[in-house]
Structure 1
Amino acid sequence: MGFTSALVVEEIDGTFWKVREPLRYAGSQEEFEVPAGFRTDFASVPRPVVWLVPRYGVYTRAAILHDYLLRSEVVSAVDADGIFRRALRECDVSVPRQWMMWTAVRFGSRLRGITPPALAVFTVVAVLSILFLAIPTIVVTVFLVLFWFIEVIAWAVVKVLPHESPARAPRPEMKT
């Protein structure tokens, strides 16, 4: 079980990538194939928490598979989220990160089809994640906003000031 092919992607732009060769995953009962040409942003992570979960890592194949399963509706959102959690484990993602990522995708699917025991697990993991992430996320968000202001000010200054091209060094004379 697990991924039975390598991930081969091509960058489309600064955000999106295209799967170049089919990505295959063997589940416990079914096999899934993300087709060549599938467009992905890898893991959809809110910017303030990319310090903890970057957009790509050992979990990239699991994130792409999850996106494909949700968009293609090959399985239900509940099953896609469960397969995602299993794929994270098979990709050797740490247990805390697996559960935090699973909680995030369950929340993203608005908890559709969640059972009472899964809701209890979701609630515990969500509360612990919020407690762990609250202060760093607030700090990162404040600094992202601050940096945005700095970028806007720098952009305005560059637009207002005259822009000269760099001086060229004189060409050496050739003796004949």
Structure 2
Amino acid sequence: MNSGFTNAPRVSWQGGRYPWRLEAPLHYRSATLKRLQLPKATPGLLQIPAGYCTDFASVPRIPLVYATVGGKAVLPAIVHDYLYDCWPTQLTRKHADQIFLEAMAAANDPTSLITRRLMYWGVRLGGALPWRKDTTHKCDGHCK
């Protein structure tokens, strides 16, 4: 199974902590999820519902870091945010981060393998606190 997005996102700006809201579902086919037999109803197909909110990729505002990875991996970041927010009991953080890497490769965003690896290691090293933070309210479209 090839991983990839099956549609383009439709988002609107709403401001706030999670300023972007999906106006229509976003679908991502994942070889990793297929291998894990998740979700149970449609293994390998992640369906991020309309109403879900994201800040896209949370990149530290350190000039060199932001210049290197800021504004990249927007679609993979939506997938990664959704997995962290809505799937922490269904898969491990490591799997969520692997799916982020997989989605960056599938979307060819960023185009550089080195930049993809830097972003992957950024979430591996910096994702522990966000993983533990309860953001499940975002799963029901209640963005704050």
Match of 1:26 among 21, 24, 29: 29
1:97 match: 115
Assess if the C-alpha contact under 8 Å between 1:62 and 1:84 holds in 2.
Answer: yes
Distance 1:96 1:14 in 2: 32
Q: Secondary structure at the match of 2:82?
A: helix
Q: Secondary structure at the match of 1:52?
A: helix
Distance 2:98 2:76 in 1: 11
Aligned-residue identity in percent:
36
Distance 2:46 2:21 in 1: 17
In the TM superposition, 1:52-63 aligns within 5 A as 52-54=68-70, 56-57=71-72, 59-63=73-77
Q: Secondary structure at the match of 1:51?
A: helix
Distance 1:69 1:14 in 2: 21
Letter of the 1:108 counterpart: G
C-alpha RMSD of the superposition = 1.4
1:46 match: 60
1:107 match: 125
In the TM superposition, 1:26-175 aligns within 5 A as 26-28=29-31, 29=34, 30-48=44-62, 49-54=65-70, 56-57=71-72, 59-73=73-87, 74-92=90-108, 93=110, 94-110=112-128
After TM superposition, give the deviation of residue 102 of structure 1 in Å.
Answer: 0.3
- After superposition, the Cα gap between the structure-2 partners of 1:60 and 1:79, relative to the gap in structure 1 and judged at 3 Å, is same
Which protein shows a greater Rg? 1
User: Structure 1: which 5+ residue stretches go unaligned?
Assistant: 111-176
Paired positions, count:
108
Letter of the 1:45 counterpart: V
Deviation string 1:34-81 (CA, Å, 9 cap, x unpaired) is: 111111001000111222212x33x11100100000111242211110
Assess if the C-alpha contact under 8 Å between 1:88 and 1:98 holds in 2.
Answer: yes
Deviation string 1:73-116 (CA, Å, 9 cap, x unpaired) is: 24221111000001101111210111000001101234xxxxxx
Match of 2:4 among 2, 5, 9: 2
1:17 match: 20
User: Structure 2: which 5+ residue stretches go unaligned?
Assistant: 35-43, 129-144
Q: Which has the higher relative contact order, 1 or 2, with Cα contacts under 8 A spaced 6 or more apart?
A: 2
